[in-house]
Amino acid sequence: MRGIASLLAIAGLAWTATAQVRITEALVNPPGSPDAGREFIEIQSCKPNFSLQGYWLIGIDGEWLFNPGNIHWAIDLSSYSTGANGLLLVRDGTAVLQPAPAAETTVVTIVNAFTAAGMGNDSYTVALVRGFTGAPGSDIDTNDDGTIDNVLWTEAVHAFGWTDDDVAAGEFDAIYSTQLNGVDIQPTLRRRADGTTWEPDVIIFFQNGSIIAADAGTVSGGDPAVGPYQTSNTNRAIIGTLPSAFNRQVTPGNLNPGDKPAVAGDVNCDRCVDDADLLQVLFNFGGNDAASDVNSDGVVDDADLLIVLFNFGNGCQ
């Protein structure tokens, strides 16, 4: 039997903050045209069937000519919950995309969700925030210096973005993703041999912490209009070590290769219910730590403890 000291050590390690909800995949520039109708953003929660009350997805312009910091579109996710696997897919059209989303995934279809022209394909930021109080046309960077000076949310949860590295003298493109707890896919990772820079079409985040942002094409035998799509073998930026299960495919509404589904009772977001989760609930007992509040009723108590115990060992294989 493990001693309490080693249990504490495990719990301590587990308490390095892990976002309870994050972006897992996005297709911002599908092969062919038009873009609108085939773009998507996929997010995943640690808890199955998690209410997204107060969560918003927002698109933020970064182009000098488009007023850096302009809110391009904003989607209120408050009336939705993630699926049993933790996934929620936001789509901007009803046309079939391949592969079909998993049956457990919540699919939200809002025609022209990312505007009638789709998400920007140049310098652009996409963010997941809580408590958004702005609207399309709001400006989060009023003096266009690249630093957010008009905070229109209560919490920045996750984000991604990149510049197109294509500005005239005196111009300046802005990316806000690192200020929003996300990642900026740097131009140095996106150079062609001739020195020009490509812009990603798709970004995929894996649970092992790795990320790929790449140009997208159609898989051999696929239909350019509906996919399946795959990441380029040449125009791609990789951060970390991609899972060996990754086969380049874009997977809207399906777990990314190597990723695990959400599991009830997983408090520290490693998709396994074990002593670390049990200890975190015990240490927060009587409080309101959101991650430890397994049943999301506002208090950490025996009801949460029981869910952890009943699911003990789940997801750990």
Binding-site ranges for Ca ion (CB under 5 A):
25, 141, 143, 145, 147, 149, 251, 254, 256, 266, 268, 270, 272, 277, 293, 295, 297, 304
Closer of 129 and 212 to Ca ion (Cβ): 212
- CA dist 127 and 151 (Å) reads 13
DSSP string computed for 27-62:
ESS-SSS--TTS-EEEEEESSTT-B-TTEEEEEEE-
- Our CB check for Ca ion shows the closer of 217 and 261 to be 261
CB of 69 to Ca ion, least distance (A): 7
Shortest CB 42 distance to Ca ion, Å: 5
DSSP assignment, residue 316?
-
Q: Going by DSSP bridges, is the β-strand pair 21-27/40-45 parallel, antiparallel, or unpaired?
A: antiparallel
> Smallest gap, in angstroms, from Cβ of residue 19 to Ca ion?
14
Distance, CA of 28 to CA of 124 (rounded, Å): 10
| 113 in Cβ contact with 89 (< 8 Å) | no
Q: Are 289 and 300 in contact (CB under 8 A)?
A: yes
Task: For Ca ion, give the closer residue by CB, 53 or 196.
Answer: 53
d(CA 63, CA 163) in angstroms, rounded, equals: 8
Whether 203 contacts 232, CB under 8 Å? no
Q: Could you tell me where the DSSP H helices lie in 41-141?
A: none
- Kindly state the smallest distance separating residue 164's Cβ from Ca ion, in Å: 20
Tokens of 56: 């918003």
Q: Are 201 and 195 in contact (CB under 8 A)?
A: no
Q: Shortest approach of Ca ion to residue 219 CB, angstroms?
A: 15
Least CB distance from residue 25 to Ca ion, whole Å? 4
CB 182 within 8 A of CB 127: yes
CB 135 within 8 A of CB 74: yes
- Closer to Ca ion by Cβ: residue 185 or 204: 204
Closest to Ca ion by CB, 112 vs 295, is 295
In whole angstroms, the minimum distance from the beta carbon of 192 to Ca ion comes to 27
Which one, 149 or 223, has the nearer CB to Ca ion?
149
- Which sign does the torsion angle of CA 146, 148, 153, 157 carry? positive
Rounded to a whole number of angstroms, the minimum distance from the CB of residue 77 to Ca ion is 17
Distance separating alpha carbons of residues 71 and 60, to the nearest angstrom: 5
Which residue number, 185 or 272, has a Cβ lying nearer to Ca ion? 272
Q: Would you give the distance in Å from CA 255 to the centre of its chain?
A: 12
Beta bridge partners of 51: 81
Residue 138 Cβ vs Ca ion, minimum distance, rounded to whole Å? 13
Given the complex with Ca ion, which of 95 and 116 has the nearer CB atom? 95
Taking the least distance from each CB to Ca ion, the nearer of 6 and 196 is 6
